Amino acid sequence: MKPEEQAFVKKIEGLEENNLLRQYFTSERLQGAYVNINCKKLISFGCNDYFGLSNHPEIIEAAIKATKKYGAGAGASRLITGNNPLYSALEKEISKVKNTEDAAVFGSGYLANIGVISSLADREDLIISDKLVHACIIDGAKLSGAKFLRFNHNEPSSLESILKKNRKKYKKCLIITETIFSMDGDVAPLKAIKKLADEYKAFLVVDDAHSIDFTKKCEKGIIYIGTFSKALGSYGGYVAASKSIIKYIKTASRSIMFSTALPPAVLAANLKALEIARDKKLTEKVLRNAEIFTDKLGLKKAESAIVPVIVKTNEKALKISLELQKVGFYVPAIRPPTVPVGTSRLRFSFSAIHKEQDIVKSALLLKALI
Ligand SMILES: *Cc1c(COP(=O)(O)O)cnc(C)c1O
């Protein structure tokens, strides 16, 4: 080992002591909600595949067909090699779903967030986000060089006081929040936030990554960022907004310009997934499954596919996750910096493909462990 590497060894030891070391493990996703971990078949509550579309036969077929026709890879970035014809079809579809004039597809939701945010704001601007937004929004804000402030989670009054005090000092202003929060599963008060954005002449950017409703009419005048990697079951990200914003993003956003285009199979899978995901029954089934769980545990009624069970300490979260694994369930332990210190949790993600008896069983087992 180079002596300089000692610094990292020390860091790793520190993380280990605090139950914060991240360890990657092998898991093989199987049909249904099953996953194979350490040669053991478990029911997984650790997946954002809310509709079970990653294993949908028609989507797999569409991906195979596109691979046979166009090959496994895109060859270069979209600007260099040109757009595969599936790109314009997908961008048209996503703008239709989001009720916007246009859309741009990115390599992933992470790339969409860092690319969009850093191209829409610069040093003279102000970005205000909810305190609990996803890491990629924070990274995008940092990349932009704009002044970055955060308001209390889901509190429009906190946003308003920041706007009142700071808006005038900056040129543009971006307000950023999530429709459904990724680690809490709660829903943002979008109407009140949009009202403030309009009042203070700010852009409202909303990360809709955990959306499970592809039929809902989206609010006009919002810049939507999302992903194809969760309910839509495959991979990739997007931004949907007005024509001029999309035109600007496509010529200014570095993460779309300087990264290789998505493989044709992924574009075809996403197109097919958007078609299937417009079935309202899928949305209802996911919510019903999440509600079965919150009912059994006496928790606040689920508002989305995500239900956190907060146990506070890292140690307890890890221990319960391991205990659940022993009895046949995979539920990830979520720790800082993904969530604030002292709010470590088990994060349950529900899918339309979970069975009622499995959800009930997991709830009863969990009850005995917390
Ligand atoms: C998962 C997630 C992303 C990142 O999307 P990927 O497609 O996985 O890169 C962005 N924002 C939020 C809120 C997320 O939960």
In the residue annotation, 230 being an active-site residue is answered as: yes
End-to-end CA distance of the chain: 42
Across 128-135, average pLDDT:
97
Give mean pLDDT, residues 236-259.
98
Name 291's bridge partners: none
Read off the pLDDT of residues 321-330 as tens digits, 9 standing for 90 and up. 999 999 999 9
Taking the C-alpha atoms of residue 322 and residue 306, their distance in angstroms, rounded to an integer, is 20
What are phi and psi for residue 28, nearest 5 degrees?
Answer: -115, 115
Q: What is the pLDDT of residue 217?
A: 80
Question: What is the reported pLDDT for 265?
Answer: 98
* 178 Cβ below 6 A of ligand 1: yes
Q: How confident is the model at residue 166 (pLDDT cuts 50, 70, 90)?
A: very high
What's this model's pTM, rounded to 2 decimal places? 0.96
φ and ψ at residue 339, rounded to 5 degrees: -130, 160
Could you count the other beta carbons within 10 Å of the beta carbon of residue 81? 12
**Ligand 1 pocket member 347 (CB < 6 A):** no
CB contact set of 107 (below 8 Å; sequence gap of 6+)? 236, 237, 255, 256, 259, 260, 261, 262
| Non-local CB neighbours of 302 within 8 Å, separated by 6+ positions | 185, 287, 290, 291, 293, 294, 350
Q: Ligand 1 test: best mutation among 50, 116, 136, most atoms within 8 Å of CB?
A: 136
Identify the pLDDT of residue 216. 86
What's the pLDDT at 293?
98
- In a mutational test of the pocket of ligand 1, which residue from 230, 266, 339 has the highest number of ligand atoms less than 8 Å from its CB? 230
Each residue of 63-103: pLDDT tens digit? 999 999 999 999 999 999 999 999 999 999 999 999 999 99
Catalytic residue among 134, 230, 316, 354: 230
Tell me, what amino acid is at 51?
F
Question: Residue whose CA is closest, atom 3 of ligand 1?
Answer: 109
What's the pLDDT at 108?
98
In degrees, rounded to 5, the angle at the alpha carbon of residue 342 between the alpha carbons of residues 147 and 136 is 35
Per-residue pLDDT at 219 exceeds 90: no
Instruction: Please give the number of the atom of ligand 1 that sits closest to the Cα of 229.
Output: 7
d(CA 50, CA 227): 13
Q: Whose CA is nearest to atom 7 of ligand 1?
A: 109
234 is catalytic: no
